Every structure is written in C-alpha cells, then in structure tokens.
Amino acid sequence: MRKLLTIFRKVYSSEEWVWFLIWFTLPVSIRLNSLSILIGTLVILVSYIRNPHTISRRQLVHLSIPFMFFLLHALGVFNSLLNLQTWKELEQMLPFLVIPLLFILGKTGKNTFTQIALTALVLSLTISGVIMLVESTWRFIPDMDFSYYTYHNLIAPFHSGAIYFSLFLIAVLFQINELTWLSRNRWWKYIIVIFILILLFLAASKLMIGIGIPLFILKYRNQLIYTFLRRKIIIPIIILLGLIIVVPVGLRLNKLLKPNLEEVFAEQYKYDSPMNGLNLRLIQARFGMKILEENNAWLTGVGILDAQKLLNIKYIEYGLYTGYEGTDDTGYLNYNFHNQFVETFVRSGIIGIVLLFAMFLSLLMIPQSKLFISHWIILIVFMFFITESVLERQQGIVYFCLIYSSYFYKHPQFDNRIE
C-alpha cells in the first residue's frame, strides 16, 4: 500500500490525474466518465496552448480514421439536424473526435500512461468488485438465491453490463505484469489476480471466458507452469475457482450449446419461437442484409436514425416477440443487431465498414512497443464486436477510442517514468 501511495505522489501533473480519472470512472459510471473526459479536454487543451509541442504526422494519420468515421455518420444525418434524436446520436459518438484529440495534444508518454491507466483500472475494478459482492450477499441472505452473484445481477450496482465489466477484467489480466508497483509485491499480485478471476467467472460472459481465458493461459503458459511447480498452494485455489464457475458458466453455456439454427431462415416466427443468443444474432444479421437490399443502401447505409427503426419493423414483420401492448414488456423491439460489424454496415454501408476494419488493421500494424494495449486485447475486442454492438453504448465507444488512440509514436521527451 505504501508503494501505491508513492505512485500517487509521483503522478503529479494535472494531465496525468485526468487520465487516471478517465480510466478509473470508465467501469463504474459513464456520467462521471463523461465529466472526466470534459475536464480532461479543458486541462490538456490549456496545457497545449501554454506549451505546444510537435505533433507526429504518423499519429495524425492513425487518428484521422476515427475522425472520418464520425464525419461519415454526421454527414448521413445532415438533413435531420433539427431532430433532437440526431444530436443525441452525434453526442454519443463525440469520443471519436475528443479522445483522439486528447492524445494528439497531450504530453504523457507511453510508460507513464500505462502505469496510470492500469493502476486506475485495477483500483476501480477491485473497489467496485467488493461493493458488488457485498450487495449481492445482502440480497442473497433473505431468499438464498445464488443468481444474485452472477451475470447482470452481480453488476447491478453500477449498471455497466456484465460483458463490458468482463472486458475490463480481461484487459487488466493481460497487462497486469506491466504494473511496476504490483510486480514488486508478488502476494498482492496473486490476491488481485485471483479476485479478478473470481469476478470474471461470476460475471459469466461466455465470450470473455470462452475466448479470453484460453488466450490468457496461452500467453502466460510458461509462467503458469513455473508457478504450479514451485507453489503447490496454487492448485487448491485453482480447484476452488473451478467449483465457483460451475454454476454461472454452466447455466450460460447450456443455452449456447442448444442452438436452434433451423429457426434462422424461417419465413415467419411466433411469439414462443425458441431463441438463444446465437440464433437471435444470426436472425438479426439476416434482417440487416435485407434492410440494405430493400433500401439499396449498400454503399452508405440507411443512417444512424433509421437503422433501429427498420430493424424494429423487421421484428414485427416476421412475428418475433414484441411484448404486450400497454405494458413495459416490449420483447425484442429496440434490440440492436448485437454485432458491431453488421450494425456499422447497416448504418453507414460499405464506407463505414471499411473504416471500422481499417481501425483494427491499423492497430495490428503498429508495433506493440508503441501501443498501450496488448495485441491480445485487440483480438478479444474484435471478437467482442462480432457478438455485441459495442459502439452503440457510450462505455464501449469510450473504451474503443481509448485503446485505438493510445498510439505513442514519438513522445520521448514527455515519457516520465513511474518506477
């Protein structure tokens, strides 16, 4: 703990504290996170005006893609600027402009940024995880229902969504060795890693567990083998973790392992048609292609205002469950495509999907030494985009913009090192 406080004393500049707040608030409160980004914009802009520095052309090229992505969507609603919903949609996409700008104007180097971001995430996830478990226990006591410890019930105090919280947990696990202060205290590191694993398994996100954990084992295979051989106390801990995940993971995977793929191409559905996450996503992708075909919108898409409306029409047209009139139950109405690539294709056509793929390609082409985020995490985020419309939630947009923009091409003069 003394080492942690030492780090806080060394994170002395206002810009560094801003980055800490942005990462700390991201998993727990999108409102506080938006406020942190606003404060950060003002602080970094003033700092740049007082002490400007040379901006790398390569960094500008890299960060021009999210600018173009935002501009494409803005042009698509140019004729609807008097519509309040238009401004809400554009406001949600503002991180594609603001966050790259923070990195362009900022002076924080990669090493310092890495220590700040990971420290903030570890503290945020640990504190929020403790709060979640305490509240789950409080709700569990009256009726002894273990479901309070799993999935969205677990994450309920912060309304961030189990899969997004799981993504942050996985991101920390993959880069926890980069935290200097934690690497110096092995037992604290083990405790935090085990706690994060417990939270991850309880959150029970199929994607994060099914893909994230195998990749985590693959990356750290040599270190894990060495630890097992040297510290046999780890074995019972692994067994305990296995027992913990049986119920939540079993319940989640049971539904996935019973797909009804014959339903995907049905001409009509009933209110009680059997659905699970897999075939629903395939049906939504099918509807997306039909929307583009019927509107002849392959090149530029149908726009950010009409995509969800047209998808709702498809739900009704094909007879999917749409709830009961006069109640709060709306069924599948307003469910997005649950696939960011399909979502972007329908909203902004071939141009939009090309820009989205270009961002992933750009990240993969940059050497790991110049990126904050691990290439392993980029792969997981790519898979995340296949199963969720990540950029339809503010939390997803902010996280993607942060990891995409954290390209440190040339800032050696600003790379204050936290040891």
DSSP letter at 418 equals P
Q: Are 163 and 207 a contacting pair, CB within 8 Å? A: yes
Residues 48-71: tens digit of each pLDDT? 999 998 888 888 999 999 999 999
Rounded to two decimals, the pTM is 0.86
Q: What are phi and psi of 407, to 5 degrees?
A: -105, 110
* Residue-level pLDDT at 134: 92
Q: Which whole number is the average pLDDT over 40-44?
A: 95
Would you place residue 417 in the very low, low, confident or very high pLDDT band (cuts 50, 70, 90)?
very low
* Residue-level pLDDT at 346: 96
pLDDT over 50 (residue 413): no
**Residues ≥6 apart with Cβ < 8 Å to 391:** 93, 340, 343, 344, 397, 400
Q: Which whole number is the average pLDDT over 39-56?
A: 92
Would you place residue 412 in the very low, low, confident or very high pLDDT band (cuts 50, 70, 90)?
very low
pLDDT over 70 (residue 149): yes
> Quick one: which of 289, 338, 11 has its CA closest to 163?
338
172 vs 2 pLDDT, higher one: 172
Residues 301-335: tens digit of each pLDDT? 999 989 999 999 999 998 888 887 777 788 889 99
Strand, coil or helix: 175: helix
Give the C-alpha separation, 365 to 375, whole Å: 10
